[in-house]
Structure 1
C-alpha cells in the first residue's frame, strides 16, 4: 500500500473541476471582501443613526450624569469641593483625573452628548421623509380574502338603494371615526371602501425625538453662552456685575466679559432665622436678603427681596440667595496705635451650628505685618473638655477666637492670595508670657492687647453676609418646554394605534 504523492493539476489548483468531473474542495472558508473606506463610513453612519444606538447613548448619558449628583461640582459649590478634597485626600487625585469635580464640562461627557445629538438627527431626518410620504399616500387596496383577517365580519342589509349608496354610508360612518377614507365605486369593478387612521403614532414618535434634540440644543446653548458665579456681599455693601467682584466665576466657551449686564446690587439687610424649639431646633426657617438694585448706569434704583427659590431677575440674569454667614467687625491697631485693618471680615460656615472659619490680614502693621486665623462662634459655649463650641446658629452670644501671627504675609511679591486662607510659611506664631501660642477669645466690645507691643485687636460687633449666585442661561425655557412636548409625543406614540378597514 503506497501513498499518492502526485502534485495537483493546474485545474485543481485553480479551483476548477478537473477533467472527467468531480469537485475541488476549498482550502478554507471564503472571506468576505474588505469594505472600501466609503462603504465602511456608510456602515458606521448607519450604526450610529440607528434607533438602538440612540437609546443606548441616551441611557449612557443618564448614567454619566450620576457622578455629577454624587460628587460636589466646581461650578456649583467650590467650597463643598474643597471640603470633600480635604476629607478624601486619597480619592481626590483619581477623581480629578476623571474630571469628576466638573462632570458636565469633561471631554467624555461632551463626547457622549455630541454622539447622541448626531444620532438623533440622523434618525429623525430619514424618518421624517418616510412619514411625509406616508401622509400623502392613500389607504391601501383591500386584500383579496377579507375573511382571513383577524377582525372580520359580514352582514346583509335590506336598506334601499344600490351598492354605491351603501358604500357611501359606510364611508360616512368611518369618517366620523376619524378615518381617512377612499371609495372605489362599483362601476370601476367591485365596490370597496378603503379607510386608514393612526397617523399620529409616528408623528408622536418624531415629536419625541425632535423634542429631545431641542433639549440637547437648549442645554448646549446655555452651557456655551451662559455663565455662573458666586459672590459674598456683607450688609451695607454692594456688588457690581464685573469679573473682579466674583469670588468664583465659571463661563461658557463663547461667553465674554462684555456680555455681563452692568447692574449693581446693594445689600441693606440679611435675615437668617432658625427653629428655636422642637425636633427641628437649629434648622433654617427663613433666609431673606433685601436691598436695592440698579439695572444699568444712569437708571434709578429699585427695591428687591430675595428668598430661597425666589431670585432677583435683572436683564436676563438671575441672582439667587444660596447661603448666609457672619462677618465679625474687627479693628486692628499696630504698635504705633494706627488703625491698619477695620471693618467686617466674612468667616465661612463649616457646620450646621455656623461655626465659621476666617482670617484677618494687616499688611501695613508696624513693626511687623500681622495675620490672624480662627473661629467665629455665633452662640458661644464650651463642651465637656472646655473647648469653645457654638450652641446655636443665630448670633445670640457671639465670640471670636483667634491665633495671631507676625512676620511676612507674602503680599508684597504681587502673587494672588485667597482672602479666606493665611500663608504661614514666613510667619511666626505670637506667643504669650508662658511661651504658648497666643489665643484671643473676644466678645463684642472687647479689646485684646498683643504681646511684644505688636498692637491691639478689638471685636466691634457682628454683621451678616449673603452668599449670592449670579447666573445667566440663554434659552433656559427650551429644555423644559422640550421635555413637556417630548412626554406628549411619547404618550401619542404609545396609545395611538394605527387601524385599517375595508368594506
Structure 2
C-alpha cells in the first residue's frame, strides 16, 4: 500500500492554495476594496491630530482625553501614515494593482493587434439590427460598406476586418468593423495612475521631511534641526539634505470679518517675510499667504496658522527682571481665546510660574469673562500664579506650554483665595509675600509655518493627471462593433438582402440613432470615383 496522504474532495495543496490566494489578491474586486480601505484608513489622520503635522495639537488632545490616549497610542492613531496597519494596506494595494494591471495589459495588447471578429451567422438575433433590400450586387454593397465604415469615413471611423487576399481563404459575405478599443486603455491608464500616485507619496514619505515652527513677529528662523518645534523626517532622509536658508517675519496682517454670522473670525491672513540663502548676499521679500507657499530651492514654506503672544515681564523680589518677552499663547477656539504658560526659574527668592488665558477682545457677559472676537481690540490676560518647584530643577526637557504644578505652591490673595492676575496692556500687579511683580507690556502676533520637502509631489501630480485622462477615456469612449452582411435575397432575382447590426459593448448606450445613420449612409448616393482612382498611372 502507498503511504501517500489521501486528499479529501475539494482539499487544496499548498501550491494550489497559494495560487488561489494570489488570484484573489490580484483581482480587480480586491484592488477596489483595498483602495476603499486605504481611503477609510486615512480618515483618522485627518480627524485626529498627527505627531508629524502638529505635535502641539497632539499634546492638547492628550491632555483633554486622558482615558482615550492609551488606546489611541496603542493603535498608532497619532501617527497614522507611519503605522504598521496603514503600511500593510498600502503595500497590499500596490501588489494587487501590479498583479491586476500586468496580465490585463498583456491581454489588451493581444486584443489590440487582433482583427475585429467575424460577423455572427444570424445578425437578426442581435438586439439592435435591421435589414433592407437593394438592386446592387452584394460585392458593391460590401465595398460601399467598407467606405462608409472605414477609418476616414463616418465620423471617426472604425477598424475593419481584413479582406481575404489568398485564393485559399474563403471570401467573407460581411463587413466587420470595430471602434472604441481605447476604452480599455483608459481603464488601464486609470489603474496605472493609482500606482504612480502611490509611488509619488512613497518617494515623498521616504526622502522628504515635514516640520513646524511658531515664530513671533520680528523673529528669524534658520533652517537647522535645532530651530524646529517638531520635525518628522522620512525613513531615508538625512539632515545633510536640509537647504541652507533663513527668513525673518517682518510683519503680519489679518483681515477680520466685521459683519454677518461669522463676524469676528479671520477672513484671511498673510505674513511679510524677508529671506536669503548662503549663496545670496541680499534679502528677498515675499508675502506668505495660505496656499501660496514660499519655495526656496527644494523646500516649501507654508503659512498654516496664527495667534497672539502677550509680552509679559516678571520681576522677582529684588526687583530684577527674571523673565521678559513675548510668550506664545495657543488658541483654544475660533475666537482666539488662548492658553499660555510663563516660567521664571531665575526669580529670587523662589521660581515663579504663571498659567492662564488671553482674551483678545475681553468682555464681561453676565459675570462671565468672554472674548467677543479674534481681533485684539481689548486684550486682557487672566492668570494664576505659582512659586517654588515648577519642574525645571532636574534639567529634564519639558514643554514650554505645560507648567508642572505638582510640587509648586499656588499664590493666594489676602482673603485666602487663589491669586488671579487680571491685566491689560501697561498694567502691573504685585505678587504677595514680596515675591515680585508681573507686568503686561503688550501683544505681538505669531505665525505657525510648516516647512517641508516633498520630492515625490511631481510624480503624484503626473499620476493625478493620468487618472483624469484615463477616467475620461473610460467614461466617454463607447466601444462598439458594426456588422454589414450582403447576400442574394431568398426570393431570387437580382435583389440583395442587406443586414446591418450594431453591438454596443459598454452596455449602456442607445444605438438606434447610430444604426439609422449607418443604414442611411449605406443606402445613400455613391461617391464619384476620380480619374486618378480609375487610372492610377
* Alignment TM-score > 0.5, same fold: yes
Residue in 1 that maps onto 2:454: 473
Structure 1 length as normaliser, TM-score? 0.85
Matched-pair contact (CA < 8 Å) for 1:185–1:191: no
- Which structure 2 residues correspond to residues 342-357 of structure 1 after superposition, within 5 A? 342-357=324-339
Residue 498 (1) aligns with residue 476 (2): no
**Residue by residue, what CA displacement relative to the aligned partner does 1:283-339 show, whole Å, maximum 9, x if unpaired?**
112311112011445443111111222222222322222221111112222222222
Measure, in 2, the Cα distance between the counterparts of 1:328 and 1:149: 81
**2:254 counterpart residue number:** 272
1:5 is aligned to: none
CA distance 1:157–1:484, shift in 2 (3 Å): farther
Q: Deviations over 1:196-238 (max 9, x none)?
A: 3322122112111111111221222222223222211001111
Partners of 1:84 and 1:322 lie apart in 2 by 19
Unaligned runs of 5+ in 1: 1-12, 15-28
2:265 touches 2:373 (CA, 8 Å); kept in 1?
no
- Answering whether residue 307 of structure 2 is matched by residue 328 of structure 1, we say no
C-alpha offsets along residues 353-409 of structure 1, whole Å, 9 cap, x if unaligned? 222111111222222222221222222232323x44323322122222222222133
Q: Distance between the aligned counterparts of 1:87 and 1:227, measured in 2?
A: 28
Does the 8 A contact of 1:275 with 1:285 survive in 2?
A: yes
2:464 to 471, 483, 487: 483
Question: Contact 1:200 / 1:496 at 8 angstroms: preserved in 2?
Answer: no
1:183 counterpart (156, 163, 183): 163
For 1:148 and 1:353, how far apart are their aligned partners in 2?
72
Question: 1:329 & 1:420 partners in 2: Cα distance?
Answer: 16
Is 1:104 the equivalent of 2:104?
Answer: no
1:201–1:498 CA contact under 8 A, matched in 2: no
Query: Among 293, 303, 311, which residue is 2:293 paired with?
Result: 311
Corresponding residue SS for 1:358: strand
Q: Distance in 2 between matches of 1:421 and 1:190?
A: 89
* Structure 2, unpaired ranges of 5+: 486-537
1:76 counterpart (28, 53, 78): 53
Whole-angstrom CA distance in 2 between matches of 1:349 and 1:191: 80
- Contact 2:25–2:31 (Cα < 8 Å) also in 1: yes
Normalising by structure 2, what TM-score? 0.80
Is the deviation greater in 206-215 or in 314-323?
A: 314-323
- Shift in Å, 1:148: 5.2
Mapped contact 1:183–1:194 kept (Cα < 8 A): no
Which stretch of structure 1 is more off in the superposition, 150-159 or 462-471? Answer: 150-159
Q: Which residue of 2 aligns with 1:393?
A: 374
Distance (Å, rounded) in 2 between the aligned partners of 1:401 and 1:241: 35
Q: Which residue of 129, 147, 150 corresponds with 1:172?
A: 147
Equivalence for 1:421: 402
2:145·2:484 contact (CA, 8 Å) conserved in 1? no
Match of 2:441 among 443, 460, 477: 460
Q: Which moved more, 1:456-465 or 1:475-484?
A: 475-484
Is the Cα contact below 8 Å between 1:234 and 1:344 reproduced in 2? yes
Q: Structure 1 residues 33 and 144, CA, compared in 2 at 3 Å: closer, same or farther? A: closer
1:174–1:185: structure 2 CA closer, same or farther, 3 Å change rule? farther
RCO comparison, higher one (Cα < 8 Å, 6+): 2
Tell me, yes or no, if structure 1 residue 435 matches structure 2 residue 416.
Answer: yes
Displacement after TM superposition at 1:276 (Å): 2.7
What displacement does 1:466 show? 0.8
Q: 2-side partners of 1:157 and 1:180: how far apart?
A: 27
1:488 CA drift (Å):
3.0
Q: Residue deviations 1:424-471, cap 9 Å, x none? A: 223212333333333222222222232222222222211111111222
Report SS of the residue matched to 1:184.
coil
The answer (yes or no) to whether the contact 2:215–2:448 under 8 Å persists in 1 is yes
Q: Which residue of 1 aligns with 2:95?
A: 118
2: distance between equivalents of 1:391 and 1:147? 78
Going from structure 1 to structure 2, the CA distance change for 1:203 and 1:157 (only over 3 Å counts) comes to farther
Kindly report which structure 2 residues correspond to 1:402-417, keeping only aligned pairs within 5 A, or say none. Answer: 402-417=383-398
SS where residue 183 of structure 1 aligns? coil
